[in-house]
Amino acid sequence: MKILAQSADGVDVLVGAILGECPNAAARKLEELDAKLFCELASETWSGKRRFVTIRRDRRTILTLAGAVTFRRRYYLDRSTGEYTHPLDAAMGICRYSRASADVRLRILDMAGECTYRYAGANAVPGQILSKSTVCRIIRDTAVTSSKAKIDPGKGVVHVQIDEKYISMVGKKNKTRYITATIYAGKKMASGKNALTNRTLISGVKIADVAAKINAALSEAYGLSSGSSVYLSGDLAGYIQNFPERLMCKATYVPDKWHVCRFLSSKGSPVKADEVLKKLQSIDEAGDITGLSKDAAKVYRLWKRSPKIFDPWGKDDYLGCCQEAMNSHYYAPRFGKYANRFKETTVAMLSMVREARENGWELQDIVEIAARGGSLPPRHAGTALRSRHEIRHRHEGDGLRDEENVCKDRISGYMLIGTSLMERLHLQNWNANYPFFSWLAHAKIRG
């Protein structure tokens, strides 16, 4: 048996040395690019004088997944506008008021969905410790958008299951109901257990918002129409029983097996799914429900109103699952294990990032909202995430030309150095002249 000692293997030492050199290599390349920009800007004139005047060289530190990258770049005065600017920051799409790179922000958002802010700040960047307030500010000042990838449900019936989790919210005396939902259209065996396939996680505070998200996913991702049929499962809560009315297609409400069996079971006398009808019939024959628990009585009354409510359990196309399991796996690690009080927007943010990861929407790109000329609510001070799927889809269409346009859009958004500079930067050649930047932009170094 190999005993792990404090000393690392030779491979670990080699990999560690390479990763440790990455920030230094990045700093050198950034300063080389700054020198290239200096040569390009030297030819710019305005009123017979040099348009850009070098004021000084400023030091800048950017936190990346490989560590802190510290470099110097030139600070200019643009005589034509009277503005002061760092062209290298604009060219690289670096946010002016944030040290964290796009991937660092994504890692922090991802980690904050499962662990405390203190732990996320201590482990997001090698060799750096970010304070809880910094992590909180990154979450607060970030907006998330994502595009829904197409999902082929196959020949199976699409299922929607709904449940709720109660979370402590800021400004609320009691815990607030947070609704979670899962859409799926199949299952498979994985490690001896059933795993859902063609799955999409969705959540929200308001019933109407969750219904809107579900309808959007059913229409855009699963390709369903108003004539399509789905199964909607959950416990016996009134809002779940009435939820089919909110869906854009024909939904059949089916109480999930786990809750029904649990409600009808008593200590020392468990009830299995194939024994439910027999149990209800025996209660009906006795004609007395006063001895039943509140939940068991609710199951009985539901069955009396709709005697065929449990018929889908016996159909081959009904897969059956319980949203409680999804809550335990994806929401409880953060919102249940750590007794924090969250803002509603923070819960939505952390849930969105976690759901995007599980749904296959790999979020990657962060762009300063002010730079893009967009608008967000005041709480979103400066950045937005766009899904990698969205960016990759755009790049596959027009290839390198689109990549060039993305860079140019970033520069033009700053409105600092003028459109003439964009034409002179020859951005389409940057990947050829500086292959390290191409690697740096797409690399994902995961711990």
Say if residue 182 is in the same domain as residue 289.
yes
Q: Is residue 152 part of a domain?
A: no
Say if residue 280 is in the same domain as residue 313.
yes
Residue 172 burial by CB count (10 A; 0-12/13-18/19+): exposed, middle or buried? exposed
Say if residue 113 is in the same domain as residue 251.
no
What tens digit of pLDDT does each residue of 338-357 get? 557 788 888 888 888 888 87
Q: Is residue 5 part of a domain?
A: no
Say if residue 213 is in the same domain as residue 319.
yes
Q: Is residue 149 part of a domain?
A: no
- C-alpha distances in angstroms, 285 versus 4, 27, 176, 281? 66, 80, 40, 6
Q: Is residue 356 part of a domain?
A: no
Q: Which of 58-72, 217-231, 381-395, 397-411 has the lowest mean pLDDT?
A: 381-395
Number of domains in the chain: 2
Say if residue 138 is in the same domain as residue 189.
no
Amino acid at 403: E
Q: Is residue 437 part of a domain?
A: yes
Q: Is residue 8 part of a domain?
A: no
**Residue 226: how many CB atoms within 10 A of its CB?**
9
What tens digit of pLDDT does each residue of 118-156 get? 898 999 888 889 998 888 888 777 666 666 677 877 778
Mean pLDDT for all residues in the chain: 76
Residues in contact with 354: Cβ distance below 8 Å, sequence separation at least 6, in sequence order: 110, 113, 114, 201, 330, 331, 334
pLDDT attached to residue 233 = 93
Q: Is residue 17 part of a domain?
A: no
Q: Is residue 319 part of a domain?
A: yes
Q: Which of 3-7, 108-112, 324-328, 345-349 has the lowest mean pLDDT?
A: 3-7
**Residue 336: how many CB atoms within 10 A of its CB?**
13
| The last residue of a domain, from among 335, 351, 370 | 335
Largest CA distance in the chain: 101
Say if residue 173 is in the same domain as residue 307.
yes
Say if residue 231 is in the same domain as residue 254.
yes
Q: How confident is the model at residue 163 (pLDDT cuts 50, 70, 90)?
A: very high
Q: How confident is the model at residue 362 (pLDDT cuts 50, 70, 90)?
A: low
pLDDT attached to residue 261 = 92
Say if residue 96 is in the same domain as residue 191.
no
Say if residue 391 is in the same domain as residue 300.
no
Say if residue 208 is in the same domain as residue 294.
yes
Residue range(s) defining the domain that contains residue 197: 158-335
pLDDT attached to residue 393 = 32
The answer to whether the Cα torsion of 26, 28, 31, 33 is positive or negative is negative
Which residues are 161's β-sheet partners? Answer: 182, 233
DSSP, collapsed to helix, strand or coil, labels residue 445 as coil
